[in-house]
Structure 1
Amino acid sequence: MRDVVYSLSVSLDGFMRSVDGDISWSEPDAELLEFHNELARAVGTSLYGRRLYEDMAAYWPSVADDPAANPQEADFARIWLDMPKVVFSRTLARVEHNSRLVADDLAGEVARLKALPGGDLELGGAGIAASFLREGLIDEFRLFVHPVVLGGGTPYFPASSAPVPLRLAGTRVFDSSGVVFLRYRRAGRE
């Protein structure tokens, strides 16, 4: 059975966007982008909420054939375009770029996707992650902790009414950027 993996960059103080919505502080260097590409190649399906899907769809399609893009960015753009994507939204009318729209029955759709063969399901976006966390649908958390303190913004972890016990499953330090990759499995789902 495939796992749901929540993976995003986060500031040292736990935010994925600054107060004004900026994410430029998390721009990966070549070493980190190559690691992101390795992880992305192993993903079976990407799961998005509306906001992150719109951000990704507005940027990555034009990068794949941009001669000015660095090789790692162009590689990620091609991986992203080929990746099957499921977008959970009640407000979008349509999606593109190998994507499918789901408006309701989040838990049922995730159960169906987990039962299919293939790589893990990568979850992106704080809003949709809050819904997945409330439903107990996240199996693994992957944090790319950047050496910056934002002081506020959109938190990586939403407010929760109960603790979520985790077990450390792996780490990696990126010397060029100072980013620390942390991988945690939900306790009992090792």
Structure 2
Amino acid sequence: MRKLIYGFGVSLDGYVNDRDGRIDWTDPDDELHQYHNDRFRSLEVAVNGRRLYELMAEYWPHVPADAPPIQREFGELWTGKPKVVFSRTLTEVHWNSTLLRENAVEEVRKLKAGGDGVMEVGGASLASALMPHGLIDEYQLFVSPMVLGGGTPMFPALDQRIGLRLVETRRFDTAVLLRYVVD
């Protein structure tokens, strides 16, 4: 069975974007960017919600030729990686993506059962729908030294606790990685 990771840049107070939906405060340093490139390269499939897919699709397929090599590399990785996008409003997706409209929980269960590698869920709303069903196996928080005071929380209100075990910490110039697996 595939392992599902929920990894995201998050403010110290727990938000993945600010009140205006911006994530410009999460700009990674080169070491962290390379870490993301390597991590993304190892994925079999990326599972995205609509908002994250649209945000990624605005930039990564169109990385300027004069952008740093590390960014061009991620653009190539992102466009080539198989992606599943959950949306009821999009009519089409591109760049090796498949659009699904219904029942994210059941579809993610099928995806997990369809291999033995690693997949990642991107988008706080989609991850929030999967958490109560025990579908996320690992959480990777890239905590930025920023207090936003509001925005989209990384974690939803839950009816039951999710027990986690810290398996890795790593300091980058622009964030600290906290990596947890579900107990």
Scaled to the shorter chain, the TM-score interval is over 0.9
Q: Secondary structure at the match of 1:43?
A: coil
- Are 1:172 and 2:165 matched, yes or no? no
The normalised TM-score by structure 2 is 0.96
User: What CA RMSD, in Å, does the superposition of the two structures yield over aligned residues?
Assistant: 1.2
CA contact (8 A) 1:44 1:118 kept: no
Gaps of 5+ in 1: none
Following the alignment from structure 2 to structure 1, what is the Cα–Cα distance between the partners of residues 48 and 38? 19
Following the alignment from structure 2 to structure 1, what is the Cα–Cα distance between the partners of residues 56 and 156? 22
What residue is the counterpart of 2:177 in the other structure?
Answer: 181
What residue is the counterpart of 2:133 in the other structure?
Answer: 135
In the comparison of the two structures, how many residue pairs are matched? 183
Percent identity over paired residues: 48
The normalised TM-score by structure 1 is 0.92
- Are 1:61 and 2:61 matched, yes or no? yes
Q: Secondary structure at the match of 1:100?
A: strand
Following the alignment from structure 2 to structure 1, what is the Cα–Cα distance between the partners of residues 72 and 40? 13
Following the alignment from structure 2 to structure 1, what is the Cα–Cα distance between the partners of residues 162 and 138? 11
Deviations 1:3-52 (A, max 9, x none): 11101100111111111222111011111101101101111100001111
Q: Secondary structure at the match of 2:44?
A: strand
Following the alignment from structure 1 to structure 2, what is the Cα–Cα distance between the partners of residues 119 and 35? 18
1:160 paired residue among 158, 161, 169: 158
Amino acid at match of 1:71: P
Following the alignment from structure 1 to structure 2, what is the Cα–Cα distance between the partners of residues 129 and 106? 10
> How far does residue 107 in structure 1 lie from its aligned partner after superposition?
2.6
Following the alignment from structure 1 to structure 2, what is the Cα–Cα distance between the partners of residues 35 and 169? 17
Following the alignment from structure 2 to structure 1, what is the Cα–Cα distance between the partners of residues 153 and 104? 22
Following the alignment from structure 2 to structure 1, what is the Cα–Cα distance between the partners of residues 66 and 116? 33
What residue is the counterpart of 1:22 in the other structure?
Answer: 22
Following the alignment from structure 1 to structure 2, what is the Cα–Cα distance between the partners of residues 94 and 52? 15
CA contact (8 A) 2:105 2:129 kept: no
> How far does residue 118 in structure 1 lie from its aligned partner after superposition?
5.3
List 4+ stretches of structure 1 deviating above 3 A.
none
Amino acid at match of 1:126: A
CA contact (8 A) 2:3 2:116 kept: no
Gaps of 5+ in 2: none
> How far does residue 87 in structure 1 lie from its aligned partner after superposition?
0.5
What residue is the counterpart of 1:41 in the other structure?
Answer: 41
